């Protein structure tokens, strides 16, 4: 099966893609394009999947750069292939031929580009990273490399949508402590449960950071098991592990 790659007109003509799970070599609960070395999938199969992504991005496998994601606001500057993955949740570069790639399974993969300055970025923005400022930190790091905030486009890829993201009252408290107006990203669920709108929150943070354009592809990872891995769906199904989707961009 060929790879399925979702793209955004807003990021054109830069080569980029939000890869679905279709077209990979993994089997079982990882069926398809599992690109997560942190999963319990066979390492050699994950390497095959990542090599297919590198080929689609037209870079060498070692030039498909990922980080050791830790749900932080940390951003690293990438100038070439890295021998050891830094602990961070976002990357920026102005180096042609390097593909910045993020792994997700419900969290937001966010790809950034300033095509005028030729600076790109990629961020892993779950609720914790977004709340702690990883999106703003990525924009600031791009500006350090010469980007102009008004020229930056940021696109959120497949992520969990509000209808599938049930949270407890303590979760809401964290967001209200940051800004009482964050209530707008929550809807009432059953009992004391709330439904959180992660992509709308991500768009809010991006727009407040001053980017020229921000949007979401409007794909829900939880709702489409044929195309996307989902940590939450796996948990609800009682499965032992889950695959990781990959999203990448290059100059």
Q: What is the pLDDT of residue 79?
A: 96
What percent of the chain clears pLDDT 70, i.e. is strictly above it? Answer: 100
C-alpha 44/C-alpha 51 separation (Å) is 10
Span 103-122, mean pLDDT?
Answer: 98
Report the predicted TM-score, pTM, of the whole model to 2 decimal places: 0.97
End-to-end CA distance of the chain: 27
Q: Give CA–CA dist 229/29, Å, rounded.
A: 9
Has residue 1 got a pLDDT over 90? no
Count CB-CB contacts under 10 A for residue 113. 29
Alpha helices in the chain (DSSP H): 43-57, 127-132, 134-144, 169-178, 198-208, 231-237
**Cα–Cα separations (whole angstroms), residue 147 to 15, 49, 117:** 18, 32, 5
**Confidence grade of residue 187 (pLDDT, cut at 50, 70, 90):** very high
Binning the chain into helix, strand and coil, the percentages to the nearest 5 are 30, 25, 45
Residue 59: exposed, middle, or buried by beta-carbon count in 10 A (0-12, 13-18, 19+)?
A: buried
In this prediction, residue 174 carries a pLDDT of 95
Has residue 84 got a pLDDT over 80? yes
The total number of residues written for the chain in this structure: 251
Q: Which domains does the chain have, with CATH numbers?
A: 5-159+216-250 (3.60.140.10)
Looking up tokens 């999947």 gives 49
């Amino acid at each position: 099966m060929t790879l399925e790659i979702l793209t955004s007109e807003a990021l054109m003509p830069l080569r980029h893609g939000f890869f679905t799970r279709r077209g990979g070599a993994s089997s079982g609960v990882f069926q398809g394009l599992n690109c997560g070395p942190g999963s319990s999938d066979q390492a050699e199969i994950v390497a095959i999947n990542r090599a297919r992504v590198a080929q689609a991005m037209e870079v060498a496998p070692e030039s498909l750069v990922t980080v050791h994601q830790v749900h932080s606001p940390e951003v690293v500057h990438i100038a070439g292939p890295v021998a050891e993955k830094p602990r961070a949740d976002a990357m920026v570069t102005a180096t042609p031929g390097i593909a910045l790639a993020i792994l997700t399974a419900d969290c937001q993969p966010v790809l950034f580009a300033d095509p005028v300055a030729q600076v790109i970025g990629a961020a892993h923005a779950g609720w914790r990273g977004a709340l702690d400022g990883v999106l703003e930190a990525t924009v600031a790091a791009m500006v350090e490399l010469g980007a102009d905030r008004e020229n930056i486009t940021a696109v959120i890829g497949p992520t969990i949508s509000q209808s599938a993201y049930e949270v407890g009252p303590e979760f809401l408290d964290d967001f209200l402590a940051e800004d009482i107006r964050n209530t707008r990203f929550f809807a009432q669920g059953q009992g004391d449960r709330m439904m959180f709108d992660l992509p709308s929150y991500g768009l809010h943070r991006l727009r407040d950071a001053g980017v020229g354009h921000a949007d979401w592809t409007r794909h829900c990872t939880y709702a489409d098991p044929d195309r996307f891995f989902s940590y939450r769906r796996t948990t609800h199904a009682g499965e032992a592990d889950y695959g990781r989707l990959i999203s990448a961009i290059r100059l």
